[in-house]
C-alpha cells in the first residue's frame, strides 16, 4: 500500500468516526434506549439465555442482579461508546443510595439522551 493509499484510508476512517458521532448525537430517545440496552448486554450476557427482557423499567439491582461495581464497569462501556461527556459516575454521585439501588435502565437511557442532546 502506498503512502497516498494509506492517507486515503486514514481519511476514510476519520470520516466514518465523524459520521458515527453525528449519528449518535442525532439518536431519538427510543434509539438511545436500544443502544443502551445493547451495551448493557455486553455486561450481563445473553439476556435470552438468562430469561431477562431489558425494558426501560428493568432495574439494575433487583432485575439484573448487578452490584455497584457493575455500574462502574457499565460507566466505562457508556463513556467508550458515547464519549467522555456521558459520565455515569457523575450522574450517580447526585443520587442517594435508595435511588441508585432502584436505578432503571430507562433512567440511564434518559440521562444519555439528555447528554447527547446537550452536545447536538
Strand partners, 104: 59
Q: Is residue 13 scored above 50 in pLDDT? A: no
More confident residue, 53 or 21: 53
pLDDT in tens, 41-100: 888 877 666 678 899 999 999 998 888 889 999 999 999 999 999 999 999 999 999 998
- Structurally, the chain folds into a number of domains equal to 1
* CA 26 from centre of chain: 14
Mean pLDDT rounded to a whole number for the chain = 80
Q: What is the CATH number of the domain that holds 83?
A: 1.10.1200.10
| 114: in domain | yes
**Measured distance CA(90)–CA(100) in Å, rounded:** 12
Higher pLDDT, 28 or 10: 28
Burial (CB count <10 Å: 0-12, 13-18, 19+), residue 113: buried
Return the pLDDT at 49: 60
- Domain range for 79 is 28-119
Residue 8 lies in a domain: no
C-alpha to C-alpha distance for 9 and 66, rounded to whole angstroms? 41
Amino acid at each position: 500500500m502506498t503512502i497516498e493509499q494509506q492517507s486515503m484510508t486514514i481519511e476514510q476512517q476519520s470520516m466514518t468516526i465523524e459520521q458515527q458521532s453525528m449519528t449518535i448525537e442525532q439518536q431519538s430517545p427510543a434509539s438511545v434506549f436500544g443502544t443502551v440496552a445493547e451495551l448493557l448486554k455486553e455486561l450481563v450476557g445473553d439476556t435470552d439465555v438468562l430469561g431477562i427482557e431489558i425494558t426501560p423499567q428493568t432495574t439494575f439491582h433487583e432485575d439484573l442482579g448487578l452490584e455497584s461495581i457493575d455500574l462502574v464497569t457499565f460507566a466505562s462501556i457508556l463513556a467508550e461508546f458515547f464519549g467522555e461527556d456521558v459520565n455515569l459516575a457523575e450522574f450517580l454521585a447526585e443520587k442517594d443510595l435508595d435511588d441508585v439501588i432502584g436505578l432503571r435502565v430507562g433512567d440511564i437511557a434518559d440521562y444519555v439522551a439528555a447528554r447527547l442532546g446537550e452536545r447536538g
